Amino acid sequence: MISKPTTDDLRLISRFTGKIIIGIGLLMSIPLITSVCFREWPVVIDFIIGIGAAMAVGYVMVKIGDTEKKPTWVHGMVTASFSWLVTMTIAAMPYWLSGYYLSYLDAMFDVMSGFTTTGLVLIQDLDHVPDGINMWRHLITFVGGQGMIVLALTFLVKDAAGGYKLYVGEGKDERLLPSVVHTAKIIWRISLIYLVIGTFCLWLVGLLIGLSPISSLLHGMWVYMAAWSTGGFAPMTQNILYYHSFWYELVTVVSFVIGSFNFALHYVVWTGNPGEVRKNIETVSMFVTMIIFTIVGCYGLAKLHVYSDAVNLFRKGFYQIISGHTTTGFMTIYARQFIREWGDIALLAIITVMLFGGSACSTAGGFKGLRIGILFKAIIYEMKRLLSPESSVFVQRFHYLKEQVLEDKQVRSSALIVMMYMATFLIGTLMGNLCGYPLTEAAFESASVTGNVGLSIGVTTAAMPDILKMTYILIMWVGRLEFMSVLALIGFFLAGLRRK
Amino acid sequence: MMNNFSKMMIRIWRDTDMYLGIAVETGYVLVVSAVGLIICLIVQVLVR
């Protein structure tokens, strides 16, 4: 049981949260500079107000949080989940001031969608949004992919012991190097290097398809930010369909699949062990589930003669399935085509892969390939045990960065997280249904928010009920943080209500 | 800022097999995509 919080506990949480908010305020300087470059003066004012608010709130929280107390796991977990809610509120300010949102709730929805790398949007008139706002949208999703805590650890938090607790609280548990601060820096280095390479590739493709050099650069950078962080935001309403380019689609597929890899896998492969990609339980699991559900999905589409040839089936069917599987949410079709053309079999395939998701300790959401692999290994283990003499002793192994023996606690932990994801998915579906949406549409959108995917069947619009917007915000948040730190926050809050 | 980024690139290039890593990861995705395309071809032919 969590003990009743003391003033020092609250101060400690306030200090770390304040630093993260200051980090978000500093981050707003990038879209501010973008707006100045493109002479979008009203947007410049919006960002100055946003930066001012973030700095003021952050500074006050840091000042309040002056304490000698050392952080524990509870502090790390509570700060991680609490800071996401506070930063959502602050980061929504420039959005709302820009006038492209119908309400502050819509602006907060888009911020949470960005930070959790979901990619669902409620923004109005996206095709004419100023460059500064577009920069902020994609920067939010890029930072969210790496994690706000990772950002804070890289630049603001020097307390290594407390930093690790925050880092784990954000749903990441791989320490690539002994120091968590160095781990955070490695994560940023890998991401920035891929950002430069990916932006360059998309810039070239953009030029080839007729975009102007500046437009091609901005679109390339924004789309790559969203692809790498498996976010799914794009600068145009039609998403990736806008570009009508096979090469654009191919570069984005490469980007978001690599983005869905575990950061530990990147590090191991980059430090001289390329064979890990072939052996790792997550890449193997993803490869197998991708094949199975591509077959199922493509069968469903081919049976209904939705696409006339195999190349179209690949560019529409496979693209949507792998975009859903990696929890990216890039689309090369219109949202309503899912319900009007795709049919039940293909929809079932895509709902399933959206829940499966990418890799642990990556930018992706969902159950994660690691847990699917562990549960599959556990099933194999149980089958072997049941079919063998009682005296037999088995050891089930799996390869995850190194050879490991499957333990009960790993199976229990994986099963628990998968069960919580499924419960969240069912709650989202029920809420959608209660708000008047048909079961298939409610289930599709719920899978999309639970897995932080961003594919939409058309439910997510500014016209949907506020209660559903709030439900989706909460689901995106708990799904991204993988429940534990949110449960810690709830426990912390309830403990605060106790009399003793 | 660009100077810092260049230093970072040089450090990563010196300390890791960056190009090999990128090539291996890209290769994995291209294999996945090729398998996806083959599945699409087979399914399209079989269902027709």
pLDDT tens-digit series, residues A64-120:
988 888 888 888 888 888 999 999 999 999 999 999 999 999 999 999 999 999 999
pLDDT (average), residues A458-485: 94
Cβ atoms of residues A479 and A417 within 8 Å? no
Give pLDDT, residue A167.
Answer: 65
Cα separation of A354 and A446, whole Å?
10
Higher pLDDT residue, B10 or A479?
A: A479
Q: How many CB atoms lie within 10 A of CB A264?
A: 25
Q: Would you give the DSSP letter of residue A243?
A: G
Containing A405, the helix (H) or strand (E) segment is: strand A402-405
* List of chain A residues whose C-beta atoms are within 8 Å of the C-beta of residue B21: 266, 269-271, 274
| B20 has a pLDDT exceeding 90 | no
Detail the DSSP E strand segments found in A3-57.
none
Q: At what angle do helices A369-387 and A281-303 cross, to 10 degrees?
A: 100
What whole-number distance in Å separates Cα of residue A136 and Cα of residue A115? 11
* pLDDT confidence bin for A273, thresholds 50/70/90: confident
Quick one: DSSP state of residue A307? S
Residue B12 has pLDDT above 80, yes or no: no
Both tokens of A42, joined, read 């009203």
Contact between A302 and B21 using a beta-carbon 8 Å cutoff: no
Structure tokens at A68: 């000698």
Taking residue A173's Cβ as centre, other Cβ atoms within 10 Å add up to 13
Query: Which tokens hold the place of A399?
Result: 């390869």
User: Residue A398's beta-bridge partner residues?
Assistant: A404
On the question of pLDDT at A484 being above 90, the answer is: no
**pLDDT over 90 (residue A188):** no
Answer whether A111's CB lies under 8 Å from A136's CB. no
Q: Could you tell me the two tokens for B41?
A: 């071809």
Given an 8 Å threshold on Cβ–Cβ distance, is B32 in contact with A257? yes
Compute the distance between CA of residue A476 and CA of residue A251 in angstroms, rounded to an integer: 27
A189–B contact, CB cutoff 8 A: yes
Q: What share of chain A is helix, strand, coil (3-state, %, to 5)?
A: 70, 0, 30
pLDDT band at A272 (very low <50, low <70, confident <90, very high): confident
**pLDDT the model gives residue A362:** 86
Mean pLDDT of chain A: 91
pLDDT value at position A174? 63
What mean pLDDT do residues A336-345 have? Answer: 95
Say which residue, A188 or A139, is predicted with more confidence: A139
The mean pLDDT value for A457-472 works out to 96
Over 70: is that where the pLDDT of A151 sits?
Answer: no
Asked whether the beta carbons of residue B20 and residue A313 sit closer than 8 angstroms, the reply is: no
Q: What local confidence, expressed as pLDDT, does residue A448 receive?
A: 97
Structure tokens, A315: 């560019």
Question: How much is the pLDDT for A284?
Answer: 95
Q: Using CA atoms, how far apart are residues A253 and B41, in angstroms rounded to an integer?
A: 19
Chain B residues within 8 A of A299 when measuring between CB atoms: 43, 47
At how many degrees (to 10) do helices A160-169 and A148-155 cross? 170
Alpha-helix runs per DSSP H in chain B: 2-15, 18-47
Q: For the complex shown, is ipTM > 0.90?
A: no
Q: Which amino acid is at A269?
A: V
Supply A369's token pair: 């390939």
Rounded distance, CA A397 to CA A281, Å? 10
Cα separation, A245 vs A237, in Å, equals 16
Please compute the mean of the pLDDT values over residues A201-219 and round it to a whole number. Answer: 96
Calculate ∠ Cα A234-A450-A90, nearest 5°.
60
Average pLDDT, chain B: 82
Average confidence (pLDDT) over A309-336: 95
The whole-angstrom separation of Cα A99 and Cα A132 is: 13
Tell me, what's the pLDDT at B9?
61
- What dihedral angle (degrees, nearest 10) is formed by the CA atoms of A293, A298, A303, A307? 160
- B41 vs A: CB within 8 A: yes
pLDDT level of residue A164 (50, 70, 90 thresholds): low
pLDDT at A6: 87
Residue A482 has pLDDT above 80, yes or no: yes
Place of tokens 């502090």: A75
Q: Return the pLDDT at B4.
A: 62
CA A493, distance to chain mean position in Å, is 26
Cβ of residue A279 closer than 8 Å to a chain B Cβ:
no
Tokens of residue A103, six digits: 């309400």
Tokens for A441?
Answer: 């549409």
**If you search the block for the tokens 């064979």, which residue do you land on?**
A275
Q: Bin A172: left if φ > 0, else alpha if -120 < ψ < 50, else beta.
A: beta
Q: Which residues of B touch A269 (CB under 8 A)?
A: 20-21, 24-25
Q: Does B22 touch chain A (CB under 8 A)?
A: yes
Interface of A with B in 228-267 (CB under 8 A): 250, 253-254, 257-258, 261, 266
The alpha carbon of residue A339 and the mean position of all alpha carbons in its chain are separated, in whole angstroms, by 24
Q: Is the separation of the CB atoms in A206 and A216 below 8 Å? A: yes
- Among A116-120, A295-299, A495-499, whose mean pLDDT is lowest? A495-499
Q: Does the structure show a pLDDT above 60 at B1?
A: no
Query: Quick count: other Cβ atoms within 10 Å of Cβ A408?
Result: 8
Mean pLDDT, to the nearest integer, of A393-418? 91
pTM check: above 0.90? yes
pLDDT value at position A171? 61
* Residue A397 backbone phi and psi in degrees, to 5: -115, 160
CB contact A292 to B (< 8 Å):
no
> Is B17's CB within 8 Å of A322's CB?
no
Q: How far apart are CA A221 and CA A227, in angstroms?
A: 10
The CA-atom distances, in angstroms, between A485 and each of A122, A146, A228 are 27, 17, 25
Average of pLDDT values for A265-283?
90
* Confidence bin at A22 (pLDDT 50/70/90): very high
Rounded distance, CA A61 to CA A80, Å?
15
Q: Does residue A176 register a pLDDT over 70?
A: no
Q: How far apart are CA A32 and CA A93, in angstroms?
A: 13
